[in-house]
Structure 1
Amino acid sequence: MRIIRELEMKMVNFYLRVLTGFLLILAITGGASAQEAIPQPPAPIQTLVDDGAQIRFLGKEHGLDTWLTIKNGQEQYFYVLPDGQAFLMGIMFDNNGKIVTVDQVRKLQEKGDSVLDSLAAPAPTPQQPDSFEFKSPSEQLFFDIENSNWLPFGQPGAPVMYSFIDPQCQHCHAFFDDVRKAGYLENGKAQLRMIPIGFREETQAQAAYLLAAPNPQEKWFQHLDGDEKALPANSEINSQGVKKNLALMQAWKFDATPLIIYRAKDGTVKIVRGRPKDLAALVDDLGGRI
């Protein structure tokens, strides 16, 4: 309750810091009330779900259906207009300046009903592009990697490398520890974008938990440091994003982790299989800044 009282006293640009305290609970135990009919989300919101986002129906407020989505640790709130033809993204205030969205999240947390799983809904038919851009295999690979479900570690604007990571892979742990101990994430020498996957049901659930968590970096480092409870294997969390990551990995015939992909200083796309033997040379070769 203290968190909510503090939130109502602060400016709106601080609201996300407060709401994230509820989000991980909702991702595991939250859902709409069993007595309240759950409407069909608008197609753009459903597309987020099909791309691996968690979704929760927060109920109706002032005549507007409210949806919460969580993807890659980022939450968004949507209010659908009564005619269903448009929606707004952001938070709602009442005429006294109180943040209504906070109360909606709190009420849903208190209900503690089962998780709403919108993955059963049919995926929308993808639109065909008007024209096609032909890419070399390496450029197509990098394009696919950039559009996977990843989590950033390190400073914005730092040179980027991507890596497929299984939560229980000891070589992945060693690689991450190497990067962390070298200080590359803090000093801006590299940003490591983790692409969580799971080769087993347990690790798939842990990877899905990471994608759903509002603080995935903190949870991952706790896991690396030996906290066995940091990444629970909760099968109720939407694992669509993790499954897409694994499908991408398998489509390119990769079968081991860690697997590192990056754009080098000379513009080429390079792949490193396993724990790098010379991490300093790899970081020095990073060229892509995004």
Structure 2
Amino acid sequence: MRHHFVKFLFLALFLLQATPALAQGTPPLPPPIQNLKDEGAQLRYLGQQNGLDGWIAIKGGQEQYFYVTKDGQAFVMGVLFDRDGKMVTLRQVKELQDQSGAETLSFFAEEEAERQALSGGATAAEPVNQEFKTPSEQLYDDVESANWIKLGRDGAPVLYSFMDPQCPYCHAFMNDLRANYIENGLVQVRMIPVGFRADTKAQAAFLLAVPNPQRRWYEHLAGDETALPISADINEQGVERNLAIMQSWKVNVTPFSVYRAKNGEVKIIQGRAQDLAQLISDLNGS
């Protein structure tokens, strides 16, 4: 059942337009769910069942399901079952898929297989148990809280990097890192997608929303012009938040990378790193 449920989830996520009936009947969001949208989550209305309004929220490739009471005063998180034990949420997502037409099916069939093999998406950043008294520590705190995607293995030393999907220096930096360092588990890049033009901002938003951003990004680097489609219907607030972090620190170049060295110092790299061996050594303390 999980296999089919995930497939229908992704189909529902990328419905580009609600049907007229759904659009007219969409209720207001409770503040906690609205906050998710403001942070860049993709939301789709599932409809009403047994007096509960259902929602899918996707952020960083991770899905959450919410059901809101009729008066809007309370909500629960999780999937909904009927009295016979059948999953109502699955049926609701399937109905959204049917309304979107069969064209979307092929688009997400391959995503499901990849998601089983690669987790993709961002994981919660570990809290740093210290007060942020210096500008460098505040910068690191801000970067940790950005909307990012994970490239590489869990447990590897972390490098955060703001990147524009069409920035040639970002492409070169990623290609430098990928073969010898990311894929060998020597560094995990947490890419923070941004965009300085409307088209690149849309591509950055797509990366934050797609179930397997790592594969899409690598296909884009390899020259696949269809890997990062441009759609005006994907929520761009996650990218706007990333841009706001850059602007607050007066950063206007990509790639812009931040990391905590093995000795605890916060360090930055503006542009493409020239000495990757030294960078990896600084991250690993070797």
Distance in 2 between residues matched to 1:97 and 1:257, nearest whole Å: 51
| Shift in CA distance, 64/274, structure 1 to aligned 2, threshold 3 Å | same
Q: Which residue of 1 aligns with 2:281?
A: 284
TM-superposed CA distance for 1:275, in Å, is 1.3
Q: Which residue of 2 aligns with 1:88?
A: 76
TM-superposed CA distance for 1:19, in Å, is 4.0
Q: Which residue of 1 aligns with 2:135?
A: 137
Distance in 2 between residues matched to 1:42 and 1:140, nearest whole Å: 31
State yes or no: 1:100 paired with 2:88. Answer: yes
The answer to whether the Cα contact below 8 Å between 1:197 and 1:203 also exists between their aligned partners in 2 is yes
State yes or no: 1:70 paired with 2:58. Answer: yes
Q: Structure 2: state its 5+ residue gaps.
A: 102-130
| Shift in CA distance, 258/50, structure 1 to aligned 2, threshold 3 Å | same
State yes or no: 1:258 paired with 2:246. Answer: no
The answer to whether the Cα contact below 8 Å between 2:9 and 2:93 also exists between their aligned partners in 1 is no
Residues paired across the two proteins, number? 256
| Shift in CA distance, 56/257, structure 1 to aligned 2, threshold 3 Å | same
RMSD, aligned α-carbons:
2.2
Q: Which residue of 2 aligns with 1:57?
A: 45
TM-superposed CA distance for 1:94, in Å, is 2.6
Structure 2 counterpart SS, 1:211: helix
The answer to whether the Cα contact below 8 Å between 1:77 and 1:91 also exists between their aligned partners in 2 is yes
TM-score where L is the length of structure 1 = 0.81
Once the two structures are superposed, what CA deviation does each residue of 1:231-263 show, in whole Å capped at 9, x if it has no partner? Answer: 011122111111111121122111111111000
State yes or no: 1:171 paired with 2:159. Answer: no
| Shift in CA distance, 185/19, structure 1 to aligned 2, threshold 3 Å | farther
Q: State which of 97, 100, 109 in structure 2 corresponds to 1:112.
A: 100
Distance in 2 between residues matched to 1:152 and 1:69, nearest whole Å: 19
TM-superposed CA distance for 1:18, in Å, is 3.2
Distance in 1 between residues matched to 2:10 and 2:38, nearest whole Å: 25
Distance in 1 between residues matched to 2:98 and 2:24, nearest whole Å: 15
Q: Which residue of 2 aligns with 1:193?
A: 190
The answer to whether the Cα contact below 8 Å between 1:159 and 1:190 also exists between their aligned partners in 2 is yes
The answer to whether the Cα contact below 8 Å between 1:32 and 1:59 also exists between their aligned partners in 2 is no
State yes or no: 1:231 paired with 2:220. Answer: no
Q: State which of 151, 154, 158 in structure 2 corresponds to 1:153.
A: 151
TM-score where L is the length of structure 2 = 0.83
| Shift in CA distance, 35/259, structure 1 to aligned 2, threshold 3 Å | closer
Distance in 2 between residues matched to 1:16 and 1:216, nearest whole Å: 20
| Shift in CA distance, 30/275, structure 1 to aligned 2, threshold 3 Å | farther
TM-superposed CA distance for 1:31, in Å, is 6.1
TM-superposed CA distance for 1:221, in Å, is 1.1
Deviating 4+ runs (over 6 angstroms)? none
TM-superposed CA distance for 1:29, in Å, is 3.9
Structure 2 counterpart SS, 1:286: helix
State yes or no: 1:18 paired with 2:7. Answer: yes
Once the two structures are superposed, what CA deviation does each residue of 1:43-65 show, in whole Å capped at 9, x if it has no partner? Answer: 11001111111111111112211
